[in-house]
Amino acid sequence: MPADYHTHTPLCLHATGSPVEYARAARDRGLAEIGISDHNPMPEPFDDWRMSLADFPRYLDLVAEARSDVAPYPVRLGLEIDYLEGGEPWIERLAGMADWDYLIGAVHYIAPGWDVDNPKHLSRFAERPVEEIWDLYWKAYTRCGASGLFDLLAHPDLVKKFGHRPSGDLRRWYDPALEAIAASGAAIELSTAGLRKPVGEMYPAPEFLRLARDAGIPIVLSSDAHSPNEVGLDFDRAAALARSCGFAETVRFAGRRRTTEPL
């Protein structure tokens, strides 16, 4: 079984279960490794779904506690970092604040104050053409991919979460993103979280995944677990989809170095 590198902690205020419980769940389900990757702190209070900067030392303690609980089972230290335009200096600061095994780049904000996956803003989808919303999202995702700041990029087509998708060829959004990601050398995740959301399918769509394969972009399987019972959830389906899209390998991270494992 592959690793699961995208999991959360209660410090972000919308997840339950301690890292100890996530780590035990991963070990008991036969996953190769687990990584904890909670939502990054910001220098100033920013929104209501991430750890505070004051809690950051507590985050490191919680992961250390999980590590010793399940040792020698591998518990990796990661962070899911929001890529915001102009936010690069803070991301570089974060990168120096711990001995990370990997950093995940994520796009939730497509405009100031608009986290596109937040149900609170669902009505905004009715206010303008879906193409414009996809433009905003994929421009941000492409910049995130091009930034070179991250080892792994989260939930590639999160913008479809509530089922809003333009008709026609989606490659006009996919291609620039894939090109930027391939050039930067980051991996992407195949996230089963979308199966539990209104869209009812994994992130990214199979077409995006096939194009990623053609571009030589590596993948990991991710659950984006916000509770211990979600660790490794639907990885059998994810592995089957990845294989059907031509992937024979996933990657592992330790100390921000990547290795390859057969899928």
Contact residues toward Zn ion (CB under 5 A) are: 154, 224
Q: Give the shortest CB-23-to-Fe ion separation in angstroms.
A: 17
> β-pairing, 187-191 with 257-262?
unpaired
The Cα 40–Cα 47 span in angstroms is 11
51 binds Fe ion (CB under 5 A): no
Strand partners, 81: 105
Q: What is the CA radius of gyration of the chain?
A: 17
Among 15, 42, 81, 106, binds Fe ion (CB under 5 A): 106
**Three-state DSSP class for residue 107:** coil
Q: Using the rule CB under 5 A, give the single segment among 46-54, 65-73, 221-229, 252-260 that binds Fe ion.
A: 221-229
For 17, list phi and psi in degrees, rounded to 5.
95, 140
The Cα 175–Cα 149 span in angstroms is 20
Residues in the chain: 263
| Residues in contact with Fe ion, shown as a per-residue x/- string from 66 to 105 under the rule CB under 5 A | --------------x-------------------------
Shorter beta-carbon distance to Zn ion: residue 15 or 178: 15
Among 224, 228, 234, 252, binds Fe ion (CB under 5 A): 224
The Cα 233–Cα 154 span in angstroms is 16
Q: Give the shortest CB-104-to-Zn ion separation in angstroms.
A: 8
Q: Give the shortest CB-154-to-Zn ion separation in angstroms.
A: 5
What residues line the site for Fe ion (CB under 5 A)?
80, 106, 224
